[in-house]
Amino acid sequence: MSAPDGGCALVTGGSRGIGAAIADKLRADGFTVATLSRNGSGSDVQADVADPEQVVRAFEEVRERFGPVVVLVNNAGVREDGLAIRMSADDWERVVDVNLNGAFHCTRRALDDMLKARWGRVINISSVVAERGNPGQANYAAAKAGLLGFTRTLAREMGRKGITVNAVTPGVIETDMTADVADGLKQAVPAGRVGRPEEVAAAVAFLVSEDAAYVNGATLAVDGGLGA
């Protein structure tokens, strides 16, 4: 079964970096795409995904302007790095709230539309640090690892409903968010280079496509071998 007519793809954190590349790729593949970001700059809808009430309002706006959400890419993310022993509760909670809780809030709303359509795709953008760890990123690694468990559980819950749920784990990708990543981590990439947002977008586009209809609960690494 192909995506139902009249449905849209929603990309959170879609105004720049990986999110913008994903939005561009899905548009090129023929999807109606809505983007969401916290500050609203360069995106279609403004909302903080960590706030469930804002998410409810955002989905109402998306449905009115773009149609029901049948593809959801949970890409919104923040970093607040620091050694765990010195990390503040606020820094821990903010990262978990956006990266993990935000994906839950958005997915819960999107599943309403997908269940009605009996077709859907949820793609959670996790990270290589979910599986290998990285000093100074206890909050980020915990949130991104939580996304993988969330992905696998939802895949089992929704598999008979025509809905697939998968994750992508980018490595060091050339974006504003990784501009301050230590050179040592970049040099550790077996591919010998950092990745491009468009390479992550290509992986997402595959998981959304009918070619991936039997791919469910999977984690697709786009990390140049960093997590191998």
In a domain, 24, yes or no: yes
In a domain, 104, yes or no: yes
- What pLDDT score does 175 carry? 83
Q: Which of 140, 150, 154, 178 is catalytic?
A: 140
In a domain, 80, yes or no: yes
Separation between Cα atoms, residue 64 and residue 151, nearest integer Å: 28
The segments of the chain whose pLDDT lies below 50 read 1
Phi, psi of 183 (to 5 degrees): -60, -30
Separation between Cα atoms, residue 105 and residue 96, nearest integer Å: 12
In a domain, 189, yes or no: yes
- What pLDDT score does 80 carry? 95
Task: Find tokens 């821990």 and name the residue.
Answer: 92
Nearest CA among 7, 160, 35, 177 for reference residue 106:
35
- What pLDDT score does 2 carry? 63
Percent of the chain with pLDDT over 70: 96
CATH code, domain with 216 = 3.40.50.720
Nearest CA among 66, 129, 122, 77 for reference residue 100:
77
Q: Which domain holds residue 195?
A: 8-222
Residue 140 is a catalytic residue:
yes
- What pLDDT score does 40 carry? 83
What's the total number of domains in the chain?
1
- What pLDDT score does 187 carry? 81
